[in-house]
Amino acid sequence: MDMFRNIDIMNKVLDATMLRYSVISDNISNVDTPGYKRKDVAFENLLAQEIDKKGIENINMNQIDPKVYIDKQNYSYRMDGNNIDIDVEMAEAAKVKLKYDTLISRTTSQLSRFKTILQTIK
């Protein structure tokens, strides 16, 4: 197994998480825009499908890209056609921020371990 495989995967997951946070921020910014439809990011399911098909050692992370899509396109509970629920978006933003912070911490720890290993090899 490639020594840096976990770092490659974490990097892609971090990118997808930042994209999701950006999309949620756009949703929050457009909470009062008539006709605006909520957007979301598909990534975790795509990654899980690839892992199920090929195994974690054989997936090509360059072929898995997060996709922005319109969520509940035909759904609107407001008269102006907007389908943003600010409470849901704020909760999602907090959840994504926590996930991102955790991923950064794990990635930093992994890189620190690699650094320690390389220093002992000298």
More confident residue, 93 or 55: 93
Which tokens go with 70? 């319109």
Average pLDDT of span 54-71: 85
pLDDT for position 1: 47
pLDDT of residue 4: 67
> What are 65-95's pLDDT values in tens digits?
999 999 877 777 788 989 999 999 999 999 9
Beta bridge mates, 39: 70
Indicate the residue type of 45. Answer: N
The interaxial angle of helices 5-29 and 86-121, nearest 10 deg, is 160
Q: Which pLDDT tens digit goes with each residue over 4-39?
A: 677 788 889 999 999 999 999 999 999 999 999 999
Band the pLDDT of 3: cuts 50, 70, 90: low
pLDDT at 118 over 60: yes
Confidence of residue 122 (pLDDT cuts 50, 70, 90): low
